[in-house]
Structure 1
Amino acid sequence: MSLFRRRDLRAQLSMHGPLLLVMLIMVLGFVRVLTAHWREGSVLLGGALLVAATLRILLPDDRIGLLAIRSRVIDVWCYTGFGLVMIALAVTITRATLTAP
């Protein structure tokens, strides 16, 4: 691989790395949900949103990539709010299964 292609690959990973991290956590959450561990999967999905909020706070706009949808403040509020609600719902649902009785 030429030096130019390596630099281009590093630039792409630098730009899309935060999104790839959040997507990896989300895929793990979906796998847990699909394997009948819905509570753990839901917590992972909520955690992915909290990771997105943290990355949105810490990284500059030129490195955040596709996690920047709106302004920084609105993105952080939305990611944090939805993440906390998802985790709270997953933790507080007390019924053992989600199937109908």
Structure 2
Amino acid sequence: MVVVGLVVLVAIVFVASDRWRRGAFIFGSAALLAAVFRLCLPTVRVGLLAVRGKPFDVAALSLLGSTIVFLAATINTLGVG
């Protein structure tokens, strides 16, 4: 949980410094990292990442993370080169 929290903190720093696409990409990567941790680690070790059953948690985090990464990678830069 601490590792995922630190990655989210890095994403917040990027968003706060007007690097929102990079921050969104890192935030989506944090969700994917949480899915990997939830899949690989036992329930007693993942802390607050264990919300429901393991299959649901992994599926929800994977869907959320991949959607955010996809949107961050494909969204228009609004005219910024």
Q: Where does structure 1 lack aligned partners over 5 or more consecutive residues? A: 1-18
Once superposed, what is the RMSD of the aligned Cα atoms? 1.0
Q: How far 1:95 moved relative to its partner? A: 2.7
Asked if 1:94 is matched to 2:53, the reply is no
Greater mean deviation of Cα atoms: 88-97 or 63-72: 88-97
- From 26, 29, 36, the equivalent of 2:18 is 36
Which amino acid is the alignment partner of residue 69 of structure 2? I
Return the match for 1:72 from 38, 51, 54. 54
The structure that has the greater radius of gyration is 1
Distance 1:63 1:84 in 2: 24
Give 5+ residue unaligned stretches, structure 2.
none
Q: Percent identity?
A: 35
**Divergent runs of 4+, >4 A:** none
What TM-score does the superposition give when structure 2 sets the normalisation length?
A: 0.93
